[in-house]
Structure 1
Amino acid sequence: MLGLVLLYWIGKYYYKLAEKYNRSRWGFAILGIATYYFGIIFFGLIIAVILEILAPVFLENLNELAFSLLSLPLGIFSTYSLYKLIEKRWEQKYVIQEPQEFPESY
């Protein structure tokens, strides 16, 4: 259940970012969720290989819940990194026009 809430918030932030810069909102919401899963898989494999080299028996005795909790911050990190990268590139490329205020003489 908590995983679904996390996916909702990831999708929501990417959706809002794409909406702000007039991009495909649902496409970027799905991109954010896919990035989260990719980060978990990619960094999880890297950690598993390193742990297998350093302590071969450690992974066999590691609980599945503990490994999931270990990979959770890595997925969030990859999602946040991509979000900031996209935001920075779009800020440089696009100028957001703020609504102009009318003078008080009207």
Structure 2
Amino acid sequence: MAPPSKLQVTTLSLLRLVKEEASYHKELEQQQARIQKLESGSNDENAEYILNQERKALEETKQVFPTLKEKIKTAVENLNEQLEKNKEAGGEASTEEVTKAHEAVAKGLEAMREAS
């Protein structure tokens, strides 16, 4: 089996970042739901402590997004460069690789728009 091309590696890297970003959005929603549940009232004597911990975790999750957005932006730029190099080299990569790369760029751009 041939080693993956630079285009494949860059594509997979971008897709991993997009997946990670989606995972953080899901985590953010879950944390907000837990906070709402705790704020709606709990008879637990540790409720205030737990609420504070959940709020801290929520803020930490929110702090991840700017860095992740920048990483996605860089990965999109790198993938676009790889696509240009492939085009200049006469299309060394298969059409399937190029198609996957273009799809990854679209997903990366969509993730950046959602993060804004």
Q: TM-score per shorter chain, which class? A: 0.3 to 0.5
- Relative contact order higher in (CA < 8 Å, ≥ 6 apart): 2
Structure (1 or 2) with the greater helix fraction: 2
